[in-house]
Structure 1
Amino acid sequence: MAASSNAEETQLQDMEEDAGMEREMESDDGEGMGVENSDDEEDDSSEDEKENEAEIQRLEEQLSINAFDYNCHVDLIKLLRQEGELFRLRRARQKMSELFPLTEEIWLDWLKDEIRLTEEEPNRERVYELFEKAVKDYICPDIWLEYAQYSIGGMGSPGGVDKVRSIFERALTAVGLHMTKGETVWEAYREFENAMLSTVQPPPGRVPTHEEQELLNTQLERIHTLFRRQLAIPLMDMEATYAEYEEWSEDGVPETISHQYKRALQQMENRKAFEESLLVAEPPKLAEYQAYMDYELKEGDPARIQITFERALAENCLVPDMWTKYTTYLDRQLKIKDLVLSSHDRAVRNCPWTMGLWKSYLLALERHGVCHPVFVTDVFEKALNAGFIQATDYVDIWQAYLDYLRRRVDFSKESSKELEELRAAFSRSLEYMKQDVEERFSESGDPSCTIMQIWARIEALHCKNMQKARELWDSIMTKGNAKYANMWLEYYNLERSYGDPIHCRKALHRAVQCTLDYPEHVCEVLLNFERVEGSLEDWDVAVQKTETRLNRINEQRAKMAEKEANLARQEEEKAEQRRKAKGEKKNQKKGQKGMRAGEKRKAEPDDYQNEWDEESDQAPKRHRGDADPGTEEYMETETGLFGRRTPAGHKPGPPGQNDKPELRNDNNSVFISNLAYTLEEPEGKMRTLFETCGPLKEVRPVFSNKGTFKGYCYVQFESQASVPLALKLDRQEVEGRPMFVSPCVDKNTNPDFKVFKYNSSMEKHKIFVSGLPFSCTKEELEEVCKNHGTVKDVRLVTYRSGKPKGLAYVEFADEAQASQAVLKMDGMVLQDNKISVAISNPPRRNLKEKPGSSGSMTAMMPRQVYGSRGRGRTQLSLLPRSLHRPSGPANKAENGTATKPIAGTVNAAGDTGFEAQTKPLSNSDFARMLLNK
């Protein structure tokens, strides 16, 4: 091999020298013929060569630093090919092919260059090897066609014809089903067999011998078979092939072949739309290929499914999901070793950063019995160097490798080479996670110490080595896991199964002292353990220790609650001060507006009042029908009965004509909201829904001035007893949206009224589930939760539109069942979604505490409010300085109340009082201010 390599290098160097001499001779010939070669042109040429050489060196240096820079490889190959650096070009291509699958264009350029360089017979085998590498990267009809045509040139060698036929048959297997490009391979194969037919036909006029006639018949049968095989599969323009067969065959087309052709033609018509969509689509054509693959998967033909996947991957080789779907299909359906392993290998070479592809590759290698050294050196070590994007990916790949090593061990033997290798791998994995992963990502990829837990279980279960298991768990607890109840209970269960009661008791006593998240549950487990295993002395010690711990925990919680309550009270006082200041400012502006309006027109007796009620600091109520006839203003509250019912096409009449105030009765009514704007006949549908609650007096949907439904309405019953039944219909779906049903209250007389159905403090008997799949139903979640206790209620959280948020609240019979559900369900995988489970502790609602109310509410920390879009990037004012009004010290607060300027006075800054500030400015005034005049 070394001698052949040196010979190839010498040959390449000689060819480079010959190429240089030819360029010099051409230059001399040009000078002799009178072609002008100026010194400037020679200088330009040398300068270009220097620049290209410098760029080549830069690219080579960059690749020495980062060998996985794909674009850098491509640029280097392009420059070396341009400069004619044949030896360096071959080396660059070889390095790139070791790291990445090469595209069809790169392979064809490389193959054509090598064919030109190896025209001599002894070097054909090298080109054959290169072709074999090329056809493994992607399914490319053009490369297979080039391979077959090149093999035809070697027919003269021994076995050359059989080699050509073998390559053509492999090409048909690989790309013969390609609907748009497969036909070219079939035609090339038939042309070759027709050429071979001419070599076995006897000269005209001579009768062939028996042997010659057998050879002729055999060759004719080969061509017949090719036609029949091609016509049995769907290909584009297969009608022309059928016509060619009719013309070529002396006996016509057999009926069976004609039937197969018609069936294939129908299959082609069924797929023609997919092929046309691929022709007109822009790369990467993911949606078009996905639709095509869905169709082929439904049809179920493995060969067509494979060729469709291969075509999609040739154009989308960097899409990990596409490789995952393909390899999963091969693992579960075809299960052909060579095909499965080669596809997995191509997948990780294209997307080395995807841990899931490496994990699937390891499982496939084990499934097909690949030898252990190949498994370790060729795949797993490459996976560690692949450069995953998450620290947790390294945990998963190590787990897959450790699972494989564990399955190799025969634990019936006390010691073995495989067991020592497993333990060494566990130790190496922990060291790798500590040194490599944590340094690279600045975080632990395995905070729960999953690998150490698995190791401890293996030592306890299979090796009966509890001492090693306890050492591992001690290390787990020292890594910050001692505060979690579930970690202590995992260790307790391990001791319970494989240890002894003494260590179980020690573990639970330590758990009671260290647990911070669920100390009540750990205390309960300790007491239950002593009920079954302990003596009276053990019971007394456990009771004393648990009571002391829980009393301390409750004291800490009380202090924290008191602190939160104080913060909440301070925040409420600040909010109340801001509301009062805002109300006074609003009243001042309303008064100014009323005074300006009074100067322009006289108030009429029938008009509504503009004066303010000084005692309540509120504007007087405007009943339905009290609006100004010249305006379209109607006062509508969220849960009040002031909604104006305006059917489509209705024109507002005189005030008070359409609605009568005497119909209002809040005690007998409910307010319905969150209905769809497109709801047809809302009155009829609401009447149908609420008739089950009791006799109805009136249903009033609210419409806009244009006659469109506004999404809410009022339902008034004959009796007040029907209201509680109606409130139970809250959150019932109406045409896909949850309907909100709330008490009907006039917010003008009850401004602080808010409806919030659910508790906003910690609920220890209820759990909060997040990360649920959107397709999860209430019944499915309830079925899962039943395994951990008695489920009283399940509530799925949705948006106002009715779409699920992936959240839910589940209420259990008591706190112990809820704690048990948290420990068992947290991290569970439900429909491929990993869910999170915790005790329900909703964020505090912004509600005002009323006098006499019991219970403390969890306070939120004060937040700085900067408006609906948040704080701007800059606090610069965009108002011209000429328009700024300086704020003087006149408006100072006394006893918490801002003093108002007196009309007609001038403050220290030179501003006049109320009347002077509200005096309108003319256009000339604005012009003088803008021009600083």
Structure 2
Amino acid sequence: MSTASNFSDNESNFSDLDQFENQEESINAISETIAGLLEQLSNNVYQYEVHVQYIQTLRKSALFDELKEAREMMHSIFPLSEEMWHEWIEDESRIASTKEEKQRVIQLYSKAVQDYLSINLWKEYVSYIVQEYKNGLNEMELENESECTITLDQVRKIFDEANRETCYYITESHQIWDAYKDFEVEILEASPRDEQQNIRVKKMYESRLKIPHATVDKTFSDYSSFITKYDNFNYENVMIETNKYVSETKGKYYERDQYENALTASNNPLDKFMDYIDFEKKQKKPVVNAIRTLYERAIANYYFDNTLWENYMLFLLEKYLIDKKVSISILIKTAERSVRNCPWSGDLWGHYIRILEKNFSSPEEIVNIYNRALSIGMLKNNIDDLIKVIISNVDYERRKILAYKGPISQENGSSLVNLLEEGIKLVKETFQIDDPYYRLEKYLIEIETLIKNLSKARQIWNELCKNHRNESEFWIRYADWEKAVGNLDDVRKVYKRASQQNTDWPERIFDAWEHFEHQYGTVDNFELAVIFIKKQMTIVAQRRERAALEEAKNAQSEGLSQVVPAMQVAEDNKSLEAIDSISSEQYSDTKKRKPEDEQQMEELPVAKRNKAQQFEKPKRDREFATIIVSNLPFDVKEGELKTIFHECGKIKEIRFLVDTVNAQKTAYIEFNEKESVPAALTKDKKRIDDQEICVYRISERILYVTNFPPSIDIEELFKKYGEILSVRKPSTKHKTNRVFCYVEFKERNSAQAALEMNGRELEPGKKIVVMISNPLLKKERSAPIQTEVYVRNLPSNVEQNELKSLFQTYGPVTFVRIPMTNDNKCKGFAFVEFENKAHAKASLALNSTEFKGCVLNVTLSEINRNQIQKEGKINEREKNKISKRRQEGFKESEKRSKTVAFTKLPKDTTEESIRNMLSQKFKDEAISKITMSHDRCAYVEFEHIEDAGKAALHFNKYKLENTIISAVIRSDLPSTLAELAVQRDDKPAKMTMVPRRLIAPSSKLGTKRGPGKIGIGSSSKKGQLVKSTKDSNSFTENQDDETKDENNSKKSNDYFRNIFYNSSNS
């Protein structure tokens, strides 16, 4: 027994020893983890996730003092989530026993409700202070408030703040107000004769009943009981007066209830918040605090969205500067919160610096904010944001000099020069590239000019020439500067130097030089300039022809097969389009070709035959010859637009659409010929007065809508997607059954958003069709095939299901179409389609039978058998694939619009690194899918189109692992050889006809050639491109009748002309 006992004791000792060793190992592991996290933070304190992990580790280890310091350190840099605040306050309140410790808990609550709008935190806050106030009163029998943790005045002050911040949160604010009311009523019940307290509670009710909220009926009922108890003598008069504004309050609540329901039903998406905010802004008398509350609610869900913060800041600034309804203290607090949430936004830092300047803050405080913006390091990911912050700081310094030291001179301007030079150096060191818009350099040139240091300014211009010598706009600016400082001979030198460069728009330089000589030159000056310009124009034409020939050779050697994968076109695209061609042209019952026409076509040479097979020219070219130019400066003049677009072709008319409310201007530019449009589209992204314009076809914001009930209000149906300029319906003079229309939106984004209506069932069995308008590719009516029967002599009251039941006894019916009159009655005939030809023939047995009192006439739908024998039977399986593809066309288009292509990524970039980059701006649920591709590319599909747009805007020119990446919406990706060449890293573009920035259209693509000479075709008119016959290397989504020449294995010069035209037309 003794031996067994000793063995048991030893075993117990060993077990305790193992447990001790395990605990020691666990403690060591935790200590190592804490040390590692602390080291990471010491290297870079701006790591949000590391802070969170550090705090969680300390909390699990019960290291309270270190935990307290860690939380304070994190909160000094970042806002904390509601959950983190709840944990912090819970930990502090659990051990708070002294007056000082409880006041610290109150201080934590005060900080917590400043980060984000949270009903839960406010509710806990007011509940805590009420409880502490009551505890203090209970402990002090003499009710000596000086010994309490919190006084009555302090409680009321906190309640007032809570009510002010939450009262317009109409679905949840009652939780705060009810607690406030109960607190005050309890005080009144303790002293019923206290007249002041009676008035206080009564005013609370009156104020509350004027604000829309979910429990307005309960509040009114409680007020009725209150008046009965404390002012029953005046009950009738008080309640009659109260009922007047309560009715109005209820109406306001019901107007807003639909927006609240939309938020609840769809889990608070940002676009629903913005709709709600727009509604509040459009009220006759907008309530600033109601709009602020909505912005705060949106921010609580989308705190990393810098665009949302930017909109919020602009709203507050407008109310501060114009309406004086927002205090400077609110501006300062909101600006501080915005940069704590989105420290990568240069716009938000700029607002913060300017708001502090408005507040007459000390120079030291503003300098500290500037240094803080730079030290965080998050501005190093985007060159634009960094430059915006630098410019904001220089602006402040410039205004300070003007305010206190007078005009900028050599004596006081050195500080501005130093700031700009430091900024230029910082940008170069950070991004290893120069600013493509040389904004800091332009600013520095202006300052050097003001302080009369012209040699230094000219030196900067010459240094900029190294990187911008190919940009015509750069040379124009340089010449304008020389003209402004009065050196006319130097202006000529600049123009001459510019004319000799291979610029993106040489004609722009030539015109500017001629215009200058008209104004300032002598006869000799002018003639010499014209002579020099003519020589340079010849050189430019030769250069363009060489480039075109080189591109043609490249196209021939590479082959079009390499383009198809880059455009994500299906492998079977050619066969599909070939069958499309058969169905739309060869089996058309609306545009049949005469036999003699076919014979003439066969006799034509290949090139001319291709040209003859183009789409038929529309009767009206206005929509094809018109472009839209948006995002124009509000003061832009017609002459400025003519200067930019006159090289593209002859302008017929320029019309402006002016939005005075939003200070926006949009131009419609109609050319004489539609061939001018491709060249005009190259002006997209050009800058006018440092404002980037958008150029696009007019058809991009026009919808073609059909197959809808005649009684429906089209404008009412589509107005939710954006402002509608017009709804055009066909004339009903001859045909009253033409149910289609064109809906023109003010913005093309609205038209894209409205595509979601496509396929929606507005009536049982009737799905609306919504497409972007493109009459050139309109679907021609296809001829019937032998699976379809034509039924005549039908009664007017026949139903679709009745006809289907009648015919499906002979085989499965796939489709029944009954043309209807405006009053929804059958026109007397219908089409019934079966699964196969045998069933269709079997159904002919119904011919001459009686149906609902009418004798039916049933025949096979007619078809041109000669063409079938000539071209061969259509493969039904392939035909179904086409039909399915067309149905999915809009889904694919929408998918591409929601997908962002990230290119020029660092080598070995993984999906995880892409997710980490996107996490700073988007939540995980905003991202649908990430697809990694070869050639350093990644495709990110978002749940919403607007998120894709924000990602493309934010992450373009973003610095990822010391590499500047590109981001572009996938639907905007290049689809031509020329554009693809521009984006290849290892192969710079040789074709200069379609440059991105201020690109002139080629004046001549080729010269007329004689026998035996090498050339690419006949000359085109100035400012136009050679017309294409077929688009042989692009896939047009959502259109029906695209044709291709598949038979010519030998490539003619017309073939290459097609390629060049397609390049410019994409």
Q: Is TM > 0.5 for Structure 1 vs Structure 2? A: yes
| Cα distance per residue 1:39-96 (max 9 Å; x no partner) | 6665655554444433333333333334333233223222322222111111111111
- Alignment match, 2:288: 302
Aligned partner letter, 1:305: I
Structure 2 Cα separation of the partners of residues 769 and 828 of structure 1 = 23
Flag structure 1 segments of 5+ consecutive residues without an equivalent: 1-36, 202-212, 575-632, 648-658, 668-743, 759-767, 797-805, 860-864, 870-933
Question: In the alignment, what sits opposite 2:58?
Answer: 80
1:347 aligned to which of 324, 338, 345: 338
1:361–1:832 distance in 2 versus 1, CA, 3 Å: farther
Q: Tell me if the contact between 1:408 and 1:418 (Cα under 8 Å) persists in the aligned partners.
A: no
Question: Given the superposition, is the C-alpha separation of residues 425 and 404 from structure 1 closer, same or farther in structure 2, using an over 3 Å criterion?
Answer: same
Q: Name the CA shift for 1:501/1:118 in 2 (closer, same or farther; >3 Å).
A: same
Work out the CA distance in 2 between the residues paired with 1:773 and 1:395.
27
349, 359, 366: which is aligned to 1:358? 349
Q: Secondary structure at the match of 2:1018?
A: coil
Cα distance in 1 between the residues matched to 2:681 and 2:630: 21
Q: Offset at 1:866?
A: 12
Map of 2:462 onto structure 1: 474
- Out of 424, 428, 435, the residue aligned to residue 434 of structure 1 is 428
Q: TM-score, normalised by structure 1?
A: 0.58
1:826 paired to 2:686: yes
- Alignment-mate amino acid for residue 221 of structure 2: A
1:839 aligns with 2:1000: yes
Q: Distance in 2 between matches of 1:471 and 1:233?
A: 64
Q: Which amino acid aligns with 1:839?
A: A
Specify whether residues 638 and 866 from structure 1 end up closer, same or farther in structure 2 by C-alpha distance, changes over 3 A only: closer
Distance of 2:101 and 2:625 partners within structure 1 = 68
Mark the CA change 1:233 to 1:756 in structure 2 (over 3 Å): closer, same or farther: farther
Question: Counterpart amino acid of 1:294?
Answer: D
- CA separation of 1:221/1:355 partners in 2, compared to 1, >3 Å: closer, same or farther? same
Given that 1:769 and 1:837 are in contact with CA atoms closer than 8 Å, whether structure 2 keeps it comes out as no
The one of 460, 463, 479 equivalent to 2:451 is 463
- Tell me the distance in 2 between the aligned counterparts of 1:220 and 1:463: 70
Q: Find 1:161's aligned residue among 152, 158, 171.
A: 152
| Separation (CA, whole Å) in 2 of partners of 1:229 and 1:571 | 76
In structure 1, the partner of 2:226 is 248
Q: Specify whether residues 166 and 832 from structure 1 end up closer, same or farther in structure 2 by C-alpha distance, changes over 3 A only.
A: farther
Change in CA separation of 1:547 and 1:254 when aligned onto 2, cut-off 3 Å: closer
Shift of residue 308, structure 1, vs aligned partner = 1.6
SS in 1 for 2:214: coil
Please say if residues 274 and 288 of structure 1, whose CA atoms lie closer than 8 Å, have aligned partners that are also in contact.
Answer: yes
Tell me by how many angstroms 1:97 deviates. Answer: 0.6
Q: 1:493: how far off?
A: 1.4
Q: Which amino acid aligns with 2:393?
A: Y
**Alignment size in residue pairs:** 636
Check 1:149–1:843 CA distance in 2 against 1; reply closer, same or farther (3 A cut). farther
2 CA distance for matches of 1:771 and 1:401? Answer: 39
> Deviation per CA, 1:765-795, whole angstroms, max 9, x where unpaired?
xxx999966899xxx9988633568672479
Matched, 1:785 2:622: no
Separation (CA, whole Å) in 2 of partners of 1:328 and 1:60: 38
Conservation of the 8 A alpha-carbon contact between 1:637 and 1:747? no
Of 107-116 and 532-541, the range deviating more from structure 2:
532-541
Give the SS at the match of 1:435.
helix
| Cα deviation code 1:153-192 (max 9, x no counterpart) | 2562278211111111111111123223322222222232
Secondary structure of 1:254's aligned partner: helix
2:620 aligned partner: none
- Distance in 2 of aligned mates of 1:182 and 1:345: 26
For 2:552 and 2:271, how far apart are their aligned partners in 1?
A: 55
- Classify 1:426/1:197 alpha carbon distance in 2 versus 1 (closer, same or farther; 3 Å): same
Does the alignment pair 1:322 with 2:340? no
Please tell me whether the aligned partners of residues 512 and 519 of structure 1 are also in contact (alpha carbons under 8 angstroms): yes
Provide the C-alpha distance between the structure 2 equivalents of 1:295 and 1:376, rounded to a whole number of angstroms: 39
* 1:286 equivalenced with 2:270 (yes/no): yes
Q: How does 1:884-895 map to 2 (within 5 A)?
A: none
**Relative contact order (C-alpha < 8 Å, sep 6+): which is higher?**
2
Does structure 2 conserve the Cα–Cα contact (< 8 Å) formed by 1:773 and 1:831? no
Q: Cα gap change, 1:515/1:533 in structure 2, threshold over 3 Å: closer, same or farther?
A: farther
In 2, Cα distance between the equivalents of 1:823 and 1:867?
Answer: 22
Structure 1 distance, partners of 2:277, 2:446, is 44
Structure 1 counterpart of 2:113, which letter?
V
CA gap 1:757/1:72 in 2 versus in 1, 3 angstroms? farther
Give the conservation status (yes or no) of the 8 Å contact 1:782–1:794: no
Going from structure 1 to structure 2, the CA distance change for 1:246 and 1:41 (only over 3 Å counts) comes to: farther
- The residue that corresponds to 1:266 in the other structure is 251
**1:714 maps to what in 2?**
none
Q: Distance in 1 between matches of 2:411 and 2:241?
A: 62
Q: In 2, Cα distance between the equivalents of 1:644 and 1:548?
A: 54
Distance 1:380 1:819, change over 3 A: farther
* 1:146 shift after superposition: 3.2
Counterpart of 2:378 in 1: which secondary structure?
coil
Deviations 1:376-432 (A, max 9, x none): 212464156341332233223323332333333338546487533212111111211
Q: Provide the secondary structure at the position in 2 that maps to 1:345.
A: helix
Q: Whole-Å Cα distance in 1 between the matches of residues 558 and 480 of structure 2?
A: 47
Pair 1:174 & 2:165 matched: yes
Change (3 A) 1:255 1:832: farther
Q: Is the Cα contact below 8 Å between 1:190 and 1:226 reproduced in 2?
A: yes
1:451 aligned partner? 440
Please tell me whether the aligned partners of residues 530 and 538 of structure 1 are also in contact (alpha carbons under 8 angstroms).
Answer: yes
**SS of equivalent to 1:157:** helix
Verify the 8 A CA contact 2:473 2:998 in the aligned structure 1.
no
The answer to whether the 8 Å contact 1:770/1:837 transfers is no
Aligned counterpart for 1:184 among listed residues 162, 171, 175: 175
What is the rounded CA distance, in whole Å, between the counterparts of 2:370 and 2:279 in structure 1?
A: 34
Which among 69, 73, 79 is matched to residue 91 of structure 1? Answer: 69
In structure 1, C-alpha distance between the alignment counterparts of 2:486 and 2:679, rounded to whole Å: 25
1:807, distance to aligned residue in structure 2 (A): 14
Partner AA of 1:436 in structure 2: T
- Checking the alignment, whether the CA contact within 8 Å between 2:626 and 2:669 is kept in structure 1 is no
Distance 1:562 1:164 in 2: 83
Alpha carbons of 1:772 and 1:45: their partners in 2 closer, same or farther (altered >3 Å)?
farther
Q: Secondary structure at the match of 1:393?
A: helix
Question: What CA deviation, in whole Å up to 9, does each residue of 1:447-501 have, x standing for no partner?
Answer: 34232122213332x3344233223222222x33334443233222112122333
SS of alignment partner, residue 99 of structure 1: coil
Q: Provide structure 2 residue ranges, at least 5 long, that are not aligned to the other structure.
A: 1-14, 137-144, 320-324, 562-577, 615-623, 655-665, 696-996, 1027-1031, 1037-1066
Distance 1:232 1:73, change over 3 A: same
TM-score, scaled relative to structure 2: 0.51
Which amino acid in 1 is paired with 2:1018?
G
User: 1:80–1:568: structure 2 CA closer, same or farther, 3 Å change rule?
Assistant: closer
**Alignment partner for residue 479 of structure 2, among 481, 492, 499?**
492
Contact 1:637 / 1:746 at 8 angstroms: preserved in 2? no
Report the Cα distance in structure 2 between the residues aligned to 1:170 and 1:423, rounded to whole angstroms.
47
2:116 paired residue number: 138
Matches within 5 A, 1:334-733: 334-379=325-370, 381-383=372-374, 385-388=376-379, 389-410=381-402, 412-413=406-407, 415=409, 419-438=413-432, 443-444=433-434, 446-460=435-449, 462-477=450-465, 479-514=466-501, 516-518=503-505, 522=509, 643=587, 645=589, 666=597
Counterparts of 1:287 and 1:789, CA distance in 2 = 36
Q: How far apart, CA to CA, are the structure 1 residues paired with 2:164 and 2:517?
A: 71
Q: CA deviation at 1:854?
A: 5.8
Correspondence for 2:1018 among 830, 852, 855: 855
TM-align CA RMSD? 5.2
Amino acid at match of 2:384: T
Q: Provide the rounded CA distance (Å) in 2 between the counterparts of 1:69 and 1:133.
A: 21
Deviates more, 1:323-332 or 1:512-521: 512-521
- SS of 1:234's equivalent in the other structure is coil
Look up the equivalent residue of 2:179 and give its one-letter code: A
